[in-house]
Amino acid sequence: MSFDADAKMQFLFALRSKGVTDNKVLSVMERVDRGDFIQGYFTDRAYEDMPLPIACGQTISQPSVVALMTQALQIGPRDKVLEVGTGSGYQAAVLALMARRVYTVDRHRRLVRAATKVFEKMELNNITAFTADGSFGLPDQAPFDRIIVTAAAEDPPGPLLAQLKIGGIMVVPVGQSDTVQHLIRVTRHEDGFDYDELRPVRFVPLVEGLGKD
């Protein structure tokens, strides 16, 4: 299956029906072909609004969740964004078409290598991908205008909060189990943080350390 006109129309209808209203986000979601980030048995399901398994026991998030998280970030064209959890690279590619610079981190070297190849093929030259423990962020590149975490933490990680600019926004799934998680938007102010609960979600857990692959 290819991302043809009919597939795009159904794809965008599914996003709108889930609450994606930002026209810039919808435009970028239309431009990034999710099929480029999925190999093997599940390629024919690339344009369905569902999570799919990828290597290293991880998943590629369903498109509506990618779009809703992107919408919640309120990205501007001058923003520097940190993504924790590169996975397939799909979310980073979406971010790269909206932000000035994207730094993405994953604990699995295999995933970073595969995602980097897709970024190069798409000529997304404003993405830098690292193999590292994302729970500690990227102190050398901080502070960030926006931070997005694509794995669930028990609480918003302290090192990531510290790397967020004043006025910056972080979107992170939070929950103590894989059955009860909520997407949280954190906004940093001069005197602290505001927390907004957005919606229930299901993500793989945020794990410390590097993956064995």
Residues serving a catalytic function are 61
Spatial CA neighbour of 179 closest among 149, 197, 201 = 201
For the chain, the distance separating the N- and C-terminal CA atoms, rounded to the nearest angstrom, is 30
**Those residues with Cβ within 8 angstroms of residue 87's Cβ, 6 or more apart along the chain or in another chain:** 54, 58, 59, 60, 61, 106, 111, 115, 150
The runs of H, that is alpha helices, within the chain are 5-17, 23-31, 63-73, 90-96, 109-121, 158-162
Q: How many residues does the chain have?
A: 213
CA distance 127 to 19: 27
Decide: 27 and 38 in contact? Cβ < 8 Å.
Answer: no
